[in-house]
């Protein structure tokens, strides 16, 4: 087996202090500590890194370790106990059982799932020899025998006496014969005890003695070979089942403070160290191993990583052995086996022993193959997204080496305006359903900056930044791109499906506003922004749909001399137009224009124009910016009875787009398109439309898949949702105020 030797001298940067006061002959000392400990780089004298041949199971903790192997238990659903040999990495699965770490190749299991004190039949497994387990049935000894723990193959039991006191006995079964010994030297009147720590040939216990009104508490070390107490200390607090033991020291924690007490074996001397209530601790010789939680940014809910720090009993000479740990157990020969990791060597099982200079050092003995620093293991981000089809959203996921992180995702529309970016925060621990190590975000097609709006098509760049909450290793960043396909809608100038509305104010300035109608609010959502000035030179403005091949909508503008100009849509709502192109002159003959509907079924928007004589002409869209219309074709006469004409798209699912026309009596009529540029006989929609100064076929403003109608009276606008039924194509009017914040406007389109 190969090991990776860790440097033995690694110092802590001073950021806080723990004051240690010796209660018996001790002196005041300080333990340097830090919120984010950093390992001192290895020196030239350190061994070069090597690769371990033994694997530590993923998502598991160490629960016991001996000379030939270690026992691990997996976390989460389907837990598993597995013994792994150092020599060749082979492993054996053992029956699930609650266990406490033992410095031995022997593993003791019992017949209760959660509580060792309820074991009645125990099995002693010698993992070094692989022999059949030895069984000890406590039922045959009496109901007053209670299992408490084991030191190797020796069982530690409590035996309740007739007077209510409890004896500590050691059971050893050899060749089918059970040997029973009573531990001597315990406090008189011991009422109960718990095993708090073990080593290869001894164990520590917490005992309570005396009647309830005069109860005393003690910590003791017991030599298994002699069945006698070797060290006894009076203490305060309860019988907490925790502590640590070495040939020269023993430790326990008291409730007050909380305080860690370090006793020097063979003497009555103790040191008392103030200790964080969540800290773990152990012993290697005279050195105290403390697992201190990180302070800065620590998220113990999802990954309780703690630095493993070694200090002398008086609290001096602190150093970091591992940048984080999650569990540790005593090993043979006074070592400690730690499940943890370093940025240099990664995750796995480390053995902590005293080096040649008498200071603790850590070596990697079984690697999980995982890094300790946060690493991006992979991503599942689609390269192409069709937002028209993604009704349930698109999932973006990333796999990380661990999840006690803070994750931010920035999604930016490439080539869009400065505001077309969004940062989404994804706390690593908030996405358990995604699976181990995964974080993610679901995109439902909303605009990256203004979620109430929808996102246009184009190329988007995603950038993910992963910040480790425990400070181990640098932040991780990665980026990529995704192509978004989206079919622009009617009256859509930025390719996001939703329509836009334009308005010209009295000064000739043009404004644009998104036209999404939020049914829950009962109003259009969005704010108007300026497009530019100088638009007073035109006497007619019309949204024409895509007639020039840019995919988004275009605008037609007629100047006062009768020249018609084309403004192609740019795909950017903040700057919606490209430069203007002259269509032709002589357009002053028309008093009504209506564009935006595909009237011929070829997929391109067309234009209809009614002249002052009442004749109606069709201008078929060509898709060519320099010649956007085919020669005109007369398709009707008698249209002089109408004072407003609007292209509304396909209202009722017919073969092509439709028109609505208002007569001088205020009656609104529907003309259903046949798909050849002509219309079916008109259908009366209803009367009372006289007050409106303008009707606008706005497209699908409420995202229900049907075209809608806007009507305005002065500054006030109203919203008529489409029904899809040609007999009653619009619902009742709703307040659709969107342009009311403007200083006044004389035309909207």
How would residue 525 be classed by pLDDT, with cut points 50, 70 and 90?
low
Q: What per-residue confidence (pLDDT) applies to 430?
A: 42
Question: Which H/E stretch holds residue 384?
Answer: strand 384-386
Structure tokens at 488: 């622009």
Q: Which positions ≥6 away from 292 have C-beta within 8 Å? A: 33, 276, 279, 306, 307, 309
613: tokens are 């004589």
Which pLDDT value is given to residue 239? 54
Q: Over range 7-28, report the average pLDDT.
A: 30
Torsion of CA 437, 442, 447, 448, to 10 degrees: 0
Residue with tokens 């009993």, as numbered in its chain: 313
Residue 137's CB is within 10 A of a number of other CB atoms, namely: 12
Is the pLDDT score of 17 beyond 60? Answer: no
Picking from 370, 374, 371, the residue whose alpha carbon sits closest to that of residue 403 is 374
The lowest-confidence range among 1-5, 252-256, 318-322 is 1-5
The percentage of the chain sitting over the pLDDT mark of 90, rounded to a whole number, equals 44
Average pLDDT over residues 21-37: 30
- Triad 279, 280, 283: Cα angle to 5°: 130
User: Of the ranges 14-23, 90-99, 575-584, 609-618, which is most confident?
Assistant: 609-618
Q: With CA atoms as reference, report the closest residue to 593 among 364, 393, 747.
A: 747
What is the arithmetic mean of pLDDT over 73-98?
89
Residue 515 — pLDDT band, cuts 50, 70, 90?
confident
pLDDT band at 276 (very low <50, low <70, confident <90, very high): low
pLDDT at residue 747 above 90? no
- Confidence class for position 38, pLDDT limits 50, 70, 90: very low
- Residue 573, Ramachandran bin (φ over 0: left; ψ between -120 and 50: alpha; else beta): alpha
Count of other CB atoms within 10 angstroms of residue 511: 22
Q: How confident is the model at residue 682 (pLDDT cuts 50, 70, 90)?
A: very high
Q: CB atoms < 10 A from the CB of 66, how many?
A: 23
502, 512 Cβ separation under 8 angstroms? yes
Task: DSSP for 163-201, please give it.
Answer: TS-EEEEEEEEETTEEEEEE-BSPPTTEEEEEEEEE-SS
State yes or no: cis peptide before 400, omega within 30 of 0.
Answer: no
Q: Using CA atoms of 342, 347, 351, 357 in order, give the dihedral in degrees to the nearest 10.
A: -20
Q: What is the pLDDT of residue 290?
A: 85
Q: Please state the rounded mean pLDDT for residues 240-251.
A: 87
Q: In the structure, what pLDDT confidence band is assigned to residue 435 with cuts at 50, 70 and 90? A: low
Q: Is the dihedral of CA 684, 688, 690, 691 positive or negative?
A: negative
Note the pTM of the prediction, 2 decimals.
0.66
| pLDDT, mean over the chain | 82
Confidence of residue 524 (pLDDT cuts 50, 70, 90): low
What is the largest distance, in Å, between two alpha-carbon atoms of the chain?
Answer: 122
Residue 611 has pLDDT above 80, yes or no: yes
The pLDDT tens digits for 339-392 are 999 988 999 999 999 998 899 999 999 999 888 888 888 888 999 988 888 777
Dist. CA 120–CA 105, nearest whole Å: 22
Cβ 283 vs Cβ 289: under 8 Å: yes
From 118-127, 234-243, 328-337, 429-438, the region with the lowest mean pLDDT = 429-438
Indicate the helix (H) or strand (E) that contains 148: strand 145-151
pLDDT tens string 598-609: 999 888 899 999
| pLDDT higher than 90, residue 579 | no
Dist CA 313 CA 324 (whole Å): 21
> What is the model's pLDDT at position 302?
45
Q: Distance (Å, rounded) from C-alpha 287 to C-alpha 310?
A: 6
| Range 569-585 average pLDDT | 87
> Of the given ranges (34-48, 504-518, 689-703), which has the lowest mean pLDDT?
34-48
pLDDT band of 443, cuts 50, 70, 90: confident
pLDDT at position 427, please? 56
**pLDDT-derived band of residue 479, with 50, 70 and 90 as boundaries?**
very high
Q: Which three-class secondary structure state does DSSP give residue 626?
A: coil
Tokens 């299991």, residue located: 109
Q: In 3D, which of 250, 370, 376 has the Cα closest to residue 305?
A: 370
Domains delineated in the chain? 49-88+277-372 (no CATH), 376-485 (2.60.40.2550), 500-748 (2.115.10.10)
The answer on pLDDT for 737 being more than 90 is: no
Exposed e or buried b per residue across 680-694, where buried means at least 16 C-beta atoms within 10 angstroms of its C-beta? eeebebeeebeebee
Find out whether 16 and 304 touch, Cβ atoms under 8 Å: no
Residue 669 phi/psi, 5-degree rounding, is -125, 145
- How does DSSP assign 584-603, residue by residue? ES-GGGEEEEEES---SSSS
Tell me the per-residue pLDDT of 175-229, one tens digit each, with 9 for 90 and over: 999 999 999 999 999 999 999 999 989 999 999 999 989 999 999 999 999 999 9
Q: Is the pLDDT of residue 429 over 70?
A: no
pLDDT at 277: 54
Could you tell me which of 607, 597, 604 has the C-alpha nearest to residue 707? 597
Token pair recorded at residue 317: 């000479």
Asked whether the predicted pLDDT for residue 654 surpasses 70, the reply is yes
- Between 492 and 44, whose confidence is greater? 492
Residues present in the chain in total: 749
Instruction: Describe the strand order of the beta sheet including 287-293 as a list of residue ranges.
Output: 4-5, 360-367, 346-354, 336-342, 319-330, 306-311, 287-293, 280-284
Please check whether residue 161 is in contact with residue 206, taking contact to mean a CB–CB distance below 8 angstroms. no
Q: Which residue has the higher pLDDT, 107 or 53?
A: 107
Other beta carbons less than 10 A from residue 310's beta carbon: 26
Buried b (16+ CB within 10 A) or exposed e, 83-103: bbbbeeeebeebeebbbbbbb
Residues 6 or more apart whose CB falls under 8 angstroms from that of 271 comprise 20, 21, 22, 23, 26, 261, 262, 264, 313, 314, 315
Distance, CA of 482 to CA of 394 (rounded, Å):
12
List the strands of the sheet with 421-427, edge to edge.
Answer: 384-386, 476-485, 458-468, 405-413, 421-427
Average of per-residue pLDDT across 103-116: 92
Name the 3-class secondary structure at 147.
strand
Query: β-strand 683-686 against 523-525: which pairing, if any?
Result: unpaired
Position of tokens 């922004």? 529
DSSP string of 440-495, one letter each residue: EEEE-SB-SS-TTSBPPSEEEEEEEEEEETT--S--EEEEEEEEEE----TT-SSS
Cβ 271 vs Cβ 252: under 8 Å: no
pLDDT tens, residue by residue, 113-147: 889 999 999 999 999 999 999 999 999 999 999 99
| Phi, psi angles (nearest 5°) of residue 601 | 75, 20
Q: How many CB atoms lie within 10 A of CB 46?
A: 14
**CA–CA separation, 360 vs 325, rounded Å?**
16
pLDDT at res. 238: 61
Instruction: Categorize the per-residue pLDDT at 417 as very low, low, confident or very high, splitting at 50, 70 and 90.
Output: low
**What are 52's two structure tokens?**
């371990």
Provide, for the chain, the percentages of residues in helix, strand and coil under a 3-state DSSP scheme, each rounded to the nearest 5: 5, 50, 45
- When pLDDT is averaged across residues 552-568 and rounded to a whole number, the result is 93
Q: Find all residues with CB under 8 Å of 284, minimum gap 6, and list them.
A: 246, 310, 334, 335, 336, 352, 353, 354, 360
- Strands 658-663 and 668-671, bridge-based pairing: antiparallel
Poorest-pLDDT segment among 206-215, 299-308, 721-730:
299-308
Going by C-beta distance under 8 Å and a sequence separation of 6 or more, which residues neighbour residue 446?
452, 453, 454, 455
Q: Which DSSP state fits 332?
A: G
- Please give the pLDDT value at position 247: 93
39: which residues sit within 8 A by CB, 6+ positions away?
A: 7, 10, 320, 323, 342, 343, 344
């Amino acid at each position: 087996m190969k090991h990776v030797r860790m440097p033995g001298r690694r110092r802590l940067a001073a950021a806080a202090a723990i004051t240690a006061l010796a209660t018996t002959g001790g002196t005041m000392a300080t333990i340097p500590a830090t919120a984010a400990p950093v390992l001192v780089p290895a020196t030239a004298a350190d061994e070069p890194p090597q690769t371990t041949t033994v694997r530590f199971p993923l998502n598991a903790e160490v629960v016991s370790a001996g000379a030939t192997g270690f026992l691990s238990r997996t976390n989460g659903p389907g837990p598993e106990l597995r013994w792994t040999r150092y020599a060749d990495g082979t492993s054996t699965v053992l029956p699930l059982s609650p266990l406490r770490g033992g410095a031995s190749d022997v593993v003791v299991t019992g017949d209760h799932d959660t509580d060792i004190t309820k074991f009645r039949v125990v099995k002693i497994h010698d993992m070094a020899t692989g022999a059949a387990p030895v069984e000890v049935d406590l039922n045959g000894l009496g109901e007053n025998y209670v299992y408490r723990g084991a030191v190797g193959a020796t069982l530690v039991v409590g035996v309740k006496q007739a007077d209510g006191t409890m004896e500590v006995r050691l059971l050893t079964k050899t060749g089918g014969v059970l040997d029973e010994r009573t531990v001597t030297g315990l406090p008189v009147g011991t009422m109960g005890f718990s095993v708090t720590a073990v080593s290869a040939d001894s164990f520590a216990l917490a005992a309570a003695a005396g009647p309830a009104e005069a109860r005393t508490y003690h910590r003791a070390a017991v030599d298994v070979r002699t069945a006698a107490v070797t060290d006894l200390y009076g203490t305060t607090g309860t019988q907490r089942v925790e502590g640590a033991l070495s040939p020269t020291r023993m430790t326990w924690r008291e409730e007050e403070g909380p305080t860690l007490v370090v006793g020097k074996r063979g003497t009555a001397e103790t040191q008392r160290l103030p200790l964080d209530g969540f800290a773990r601790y152990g012993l290697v010789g005279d050195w105290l191993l403390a697992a201190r939680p990180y302070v800065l940014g620590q998220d113990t809910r999802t990954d309780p990583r703690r630095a493993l720090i070694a200090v002398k009993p008086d609290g001096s000479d602190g150093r970091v052995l591992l940048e984080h740990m999650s569990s540790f157990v005593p090993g043979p020969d006074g070592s400690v086996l730690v499940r943890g990791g370093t940025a240099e060597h990664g995750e796995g099982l480390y053995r902590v022993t005293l080096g040649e200079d008498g200071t603790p050092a850590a070596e990697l003995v079984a690697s999980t193959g995982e890094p300790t620093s946060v690493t991006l293991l992979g991503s599942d981000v689609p390269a192409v997204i069709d937002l028209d089809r993604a009704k349930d959203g698109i999932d973006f996921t990333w796999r990380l080496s661990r999840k006690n992180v803070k994750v931010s995702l920035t999604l930016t529309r490439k080539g869009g305006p400065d505001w077309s970016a969004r940062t989404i925060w994804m706390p690593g621990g908030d996405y358990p359903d995604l699976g181990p190590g995964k974080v993610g975000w679901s995109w439902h097609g909303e605009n990256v900056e203004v979620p109430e709006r929808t996102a246009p098509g184009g190329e988007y760049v995603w950038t993910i930044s992963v910040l480790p909450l425990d400070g181990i290793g640098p932040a991780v960043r990665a980026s990529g791109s995704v192509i978004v396909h989206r079919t622009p809608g009617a009256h859509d100038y930025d390719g996001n499906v939703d329509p836009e509305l334009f308005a010209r104010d009295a000064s000739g300035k043009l404004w644009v506003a998104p036209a999404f109608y939020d049914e829950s609010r009962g109003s259009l959502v969005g704010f108007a922004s300026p497009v530019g000035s100088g638009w007073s030179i035109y006497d007619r403005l019309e949204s024409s749909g895509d007639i020039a091949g840019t995919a988004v909508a275009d605008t037609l503008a007629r100047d006062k001399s009768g020249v018609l100009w084309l403004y192609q849509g740019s795909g950017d709502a903040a700057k919606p137009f490209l430069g203007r192109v002259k269509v032709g002159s002589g357009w002053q003959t028309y008093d009504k224009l209506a564009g935006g509907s595909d009237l011929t079924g070829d997929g391109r928007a067309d234009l209809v124009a009614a002249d002052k004589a009442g004749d109606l002409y069709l201008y078929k869209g060509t898709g060519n910016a320099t010649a956007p219309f085919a020669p005109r074709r007369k398709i009707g006469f008698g249209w002089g009875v109408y004072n407003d004409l609007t292209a509304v798209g396909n209202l009722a699912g017919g073969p092509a787009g439709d028109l609505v026309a208002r007569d001088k009596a205020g009656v609104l009529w529907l003309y259903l398109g046949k798909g050849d540029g002509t219309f079916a006989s008109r259908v009366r929609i209803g009367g009372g439309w006289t007050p409106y100064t303008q009707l606008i076929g706005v497209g699908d403003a409420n995202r229900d898949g049907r075209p809608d109608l806007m009507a305005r009276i002065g500054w006030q606008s109203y919203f008529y949702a489409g029904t899809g039924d040609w007999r009653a194509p619009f619902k009742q009017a709703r307040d659709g105020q969107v342009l009311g914040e403007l200083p006044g406007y004389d035309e909207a389109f």
